[in-house]
Amino acid sequence: MSFGAWLELIASGVITGSIYALVALGLNLQYGLMRILNIAHGEFLMLGAFVTWVATTALGWSPLAMIPLSFALTMALGLVIHRLWFKRLTDTSPNVDVFEARALMVSFGLMFLVQNFASWVWGGELRGYDYLTDPVAIGSAQFAANKLLVLALSLVFAAALIVLLRTTLYGKGVRALMQSPTGAQLVGINTKTLHPLMFGIGLGLSGVAGCLLSMTYTIAPAMGEPYTVTALIVITLGGFGSMGGALAGGLLLGVVEAIGMHYTSPSLKSLLSYSVFIAVLLLRPNGLFHRKR
């Protein structure tokens, strides 16, 4: 295979992987910080995609303008959802394990609710629009412009989140909470503001991922679920609660899938993803990038 072909293959894996990473980061934030294994996470991706599609086709807005908007919208929705259900669960659950189980159930319900809401409002048909589909040549390889945009923006958002968590006081609080919830509360970190905020940001990232996906793929109310499953694989790869791990894990999974599909057959894609998943669970159950403390 020529150098250009290799470049194309790996880059297409990285592009898919960057979306995986973005979705996984949001889920990791929710699970790593609050123990909410949000099965409905992918549904907010779907909402972000539909909102973008409506704005683009009905109102004639640029999908780019919808990126901050879908972030804000899904984040606001996240705040409301947290206030309505997860806050109440936190207050009434006797311990973290019970909370985790209950939150899982609630998020299952939420998944059906959001998916059916979308079917009811927009119908179940496949939708899509045309945006920046012209190819751009980079050396001997070429990519659709919208794919490159997706790659750039998802990396920007992922990096922004990681930098936010590393450098700000809020970020410090979040990291402290991940290390030791009780300890963090003892030193005065306020979970009452941090939890809803991080839950909201998690969903916001999912919304952005949806917005980006709608530029390159067709969309339908059932599109979210597979991304939730992939995100679960990615955060297992990267380690629960590890943001850098989720980013690297997402990109890695994308590349493994692309190379695997090239040498075998796309039909074996799930086999590849799950083999990686099982291998990591067996050999490095704390994630690929876990450092022994």
Partner 1 sequence: MSQDARSPGISRRRATQVLAAGAAALSVPMLSLAQGQPVRVGYAMARTGPWTGGAQVSQEPNYILWAEQQNAAGGLNVGGTRRRIELISSDDRSDIETCVRTYEKLMGSDKVDLILPPWGSNANFAVAPLANRFQYPFLAPTALSRRLVEMKLPYFFLMLQQPAPMTNALVDMLKAQGVKSLAVIYVDDLFGLENYAALKVALQGSGINIVEDKSYPGGVKDLSPVLRSIKDKNPDAFVGFTYPPDTILASRQSKEIGFNPRFFYASVGTAFQLYRNVMKEGAEGVLGMGSWNQKTSPGAKAYFDAHTKRFEGKEPDRWASGAAWAALEILTAAVGRHGLDRKAIRDYVAGNEHNTILGKIRFNGSENVGTPGSVSQWQKGEFEVVWPRAIATAPLLAPKPAWV
Does 69 engage in binding with partner 1 (CB under 8 A)?
no
CA distance 50 to 29: 24
Which residues in 97-134 are b (16+ Cβ under 10 Å) and which e? eebbebbeebbeebbeebbeebeeebeeeebbeebbee
Does 222 engage in binding with partner 1 (CB under 8 A)?
yes
The torsion angles phi and psi of 139, rounded to 5 degrees, stand at 60, -130
Report the residue number, 124 or 183, with the smaller CB distance to partner 1: 124
Q: In 10 A of CB 284, how many CB atoms?
A: 14
Does 218 engage in binding with partner 1 (CB under 8 A)?
yes
Question: Nearest approach, Cβ of 216 to partner 1 (angstroms)?
Answer: 7
Does 62 engage in binding with partner 1 (CB under 8 A)?
no
Does 43 engage in binding with partner 1 (CB under 8 A)?
no
Q: What is the dihedral of CA 250, 36, 288, 161, to 10 degrees?
A: 50
Question: Nearest approach, Cβ of 199 to partner 1 (angstroms)?
Answer: 26
Report the residue number, 68 or 266, with the smaller CB distance to partner 1: 266
Does 139 engage in binding with partner 1 (CB under 8 A)?
no
Which among 2, 7, 4, 45 is positioned nearest to 230, based on CA atoms? 45
Does 61 engage in binding with partner 1 (CB under 8 A)?
no
CA distance 235 to 243: 9
Does 216 engage in binding with partner 1 (CB under 8 A)?
yes
Tell me the CA distances in angstroms from 205 to 12, 72, 163, 185, 221, one per residue in order: 21, 10, 15, 26, 18
Chain center to CA of 38:
11
Residue pair 114/46 in contact (Cβ under 8 Å)? The answer is yes
Binders of partner 1: how many residues, by CB under 8 A?
46
Report the residue number, 133 or 180, with the smaller CB distance to partner 1: 133
Give residues 156-215 in contact with partner 1 (rule: CB under 8 A).
none
Give residues 110-129 in contact with partner 1 (rule: CB under 8 A).
115-116, 119-129
- Which residues on neighbouring strands pair with residue 144, listed in sequence order? 135
H or E stretch at 190: none
- Select from 64, 155, 162, 261 the one that contacts partner 1 (CB under 8 A): 261
Report the residue number, 35 or 41, with the smaller CB distance to partner 1: 41
Report the residue number, 60 or 188, with the smaller CB distance to partner 1: 60
Question: Nearest approach, Cβ of 263 to partner 1 (angstroms)?
Answer: 9
| Chain positions contacting partner 1, by CB under 8 A | 5, 8-9, 12, 16, 53-54, 57-58, 115-116, 119-130, 133, 135, 142-144, 147, 216-218, 220-222, 226, 257-259, 261-262, 265-267, 269-270
